[in-house]
Amino acid sequence: MANNKNNNTNYSNYINYNSFNYDNDDKGKVDPNNGGKKTGLVILAAVVFIVLLLMLIIVIVFRPNSGQRQIVANEYNEVVANIITQEVTNDPIIDNPEESFDRRYGKVDVIFLDKNDNIIDIPSKPVVGDMKPVKFDERNKEFIDVEEKDPTWYDYANRKWANAINSDGSYFVWIPRFAYKITYYSSSSYSKAIGYSDARGLIKINTTNDGQTSLTRIQTNSSSIKEIGNHYILAPAFMRDALNNYENGGWDVNLSGFWVAKYEMSMEQNGKNVLTDSTNGNVKISNDIKAVSKPGVNSWRCISIGNAYYNGINYDKSKQSHMVKNSEWAAVGYLANSQYGTNGEAILKNSNPSFYTGGAENKFEIYYTNNKQSTTWNYTGVYDLSGGAREFSPSFVDNGFNYIAEYGGTDTDMLYENNMSTKFKTVYPHVVEDIGQTGTFSADLANGNYGLLANRRGDAMYEVSNNGFGVTGWFTSHSYMVQSDVPFLLRGTSAMDSIGSGTFAFNTTIGQANTSDGYRVCLVTE
């Protein structure tokens, strides 16, 4: 898979001038059969003509669109995808669901899209609304206001993601619309490819002793998954998903992107950070109590999943705020793992025992010492995805467990207001054996529910682990599927976890308030 740190492709680099192959030693020689003209000049003129013709073709095919270079010839999408990313083999595929391969080691390749799913070489412009764009000032070591038109605001090709501040001073990061594919490898060195997750399904690469390869499809994709270009998958978080009853974690319209809280949420009371505990943490936001996303403060823990969901919905209704869905967590993680983030390297863990957002109380330490705790390994990325608090996801199995309603809440704007997937939450299927009884927690039930995810894509569970009950995820992370009496989903890991850490970790919870569990918010400003 191509490791394109800068995907802002200069297509003129693909013109190989040496391929014209005229002999420099013949330049200036007189050709008696050509009326005494110099053949070198004729050949040079031909070269110039061909170069000009190629430049004209590029101008016609690529024309500017709101600051983006859009690929308008859809029939050439596959060719263009091969130019700007990895060319995947198109060998014939044999279906055999009985086969398998190791999914513990993978890298994500990303292409950016506009809302019409045309491939673009820079991401869609952030939809700011009434937020303030900010960039990091190296001189003063802090974020400062910037104009939207400032070309230094963001540069995803160089791992500088767009940041903005909401009216309450909370920091958010823009996650632009993209499609992805995953290449799996035999080890963490990423030297030998063994399979893919792409629009063709989960594909195993078979290699013979003489170097010949063939492909086996071990899992198909859900029919609602959309293919882009050369077998890329539209990340479901951005897709119009209402007709699919939101089973993929999508939205009610096509999104050009969404804003994710840069840090885990913290509680503020009358404008001051509050250290939450069992006496004050499990509350809803109000006129005095606010949820914010700010660096170097104690994250909001000791809150139930239902109240955290309520706080997400009511954080900023004008921007359709909500708790980060599983598909959105995955979109952030996939972009982070791609050539626009860490390029396959692990995001380091926030191990701060006081659960300070960004891993420290001091902002200089956050942005410089702890920079590899962000999705970009620099100050422009999203923090606290690995370590800090484990984060609630508005995702669960409705298996009849008694406490789903109690901890999820049944009132307006609560998680269990209804038991259907919406654009704000995802209800996963469960096996018939999972009847939500206390004390039935088991590997069999977990793996049964996990197996029902086999044809789902873009939620960073089945694609990034080997089973649903263990430590088999990317970067040796937890992979425990929701089940029985732990029906709610957690993402990431706690600062206190000694093993199973990582951005791609998933775990389970009863949903009650816990000292290690917190939450994060997304905004949609379309």
Measured distance CA(54)–CA(144) in Å, rounded = 43
The pLDDT of residue 56 is 47
Please determine, for residue 7, whether its predicted confidence score (pLDDT) is greater than 70. Answer: no
Residue 347 phi, psi (nearest 5): -80, 130
Q: What is the mean pLDDT of residues 232-244?
A: 98
Identify the weakest region by mean pLDDT among 34-43, 263-272, 280-289, 415-424. Answer: 34-43
The pLDDT of residue 500 is 80
Looking at per-residue pLDDT, the higher value among 91 and 1 belongs to 91
The pLDDT of residue 152 is 96
Q: What is the mean pLDDT of residues 245-258?
A: 98
Q: pLDDT tier at 50 (50, 70, 90 boundaries)?
A: low
Q: What six digits make up the tokens of 154?
A: 């963001």
Q: What is the mean pLDDT of residues 60-72?
A: 40
Per-residue pLDDT reduced to its tens digit, 367-424: 999 999 999 999 999 999 999 999 999 999 999 999 999 999 999 999 999 999 999 9
Looking at per-residue pLDDT, the higher value among 251 and 33 belongs to 251
Looking at per-residue pLDDT, the higher value among 464 and 64 belongs to 464
Q: What six digits make up the tokens of 87?
A: 């060319």
Please determine, for residue 91, whether its predicted confidence score (pLDDT) is greater than 70. Answer: yes
From the centroid of its chain, how far is CA 116? Answer: 19
The pLDDT of residue 209 is 84
Identify the weakest region by mean pLDDT among 45-59, 137-151, 333-347. Answer: 45-59
Per-residue pLDDT reduced to its tens digit, 149-190: 999 999 999 999 999 999 999 999 999 999 999 999 999 999
DSSP string, 426-460: EEE---TT----TT---HHHHHHHHHTTTT--SSS
Averaged confidence pLDDT in the chain: 87
Share of the chain above pLDDT 70, in %: 83
The pLDDT of residue 482 is 98
DSSP string, 477-510: EEEE--BTTB-EEEES--TT-SSB-STT-EEEE-
Q: What six digits make up the tokens of 470?
A: 């263990």
- Please tell me whether residue 136 adopts helix, strand or coil conformation: strand
Q: pLDDT tier at 498 (50, 70, 90 boundaries)?
A: confident
137 in Cβ contact with 144 (< 8 Å): yes
Give the Å distances, CA to CA, from 439 to 102, 261, 398: 31, 36, 17
* CA proximity to 350, closest of 374, 330, 378: 374
The pLDDT of residue 30 is 36
Looking at per-residue pLDDT, the higher value among 343 and 81 belongs to 343
Q: In the beta sheet, which residues pair with residue 137?
A: 142
Domain ranges of the chain: 80-241, 257-523
Most confident of 23-32, 37-46, 330-339: 330-339
Please determine, for residue 352, whether its predicted confidence score (pLDDT) is greater than 90. Answer: yes
The pLDDT of residue 211 is 80
Q: What is the mean pLDDT of residues 477-486?
A: 97
CA angle 418, 421, 425 (to 5 degrees): 90
Q: What is the mean pLDDT of residues 224-232?
A: 97
Measure CA of the first residue to CA of the last residue in the chain; give whole Å: 33
Q: pLDDT tier at 87 (50, 70, 90 boundaries)?
A: low
Per-residue pLDDT reduced to its tens digit, 448-477: 999 999 999 999 999 999 999 999 999 999
* CA proximity to 285, closest of 168, 428, 145: 168
The pLDDT of residue 73 is 35
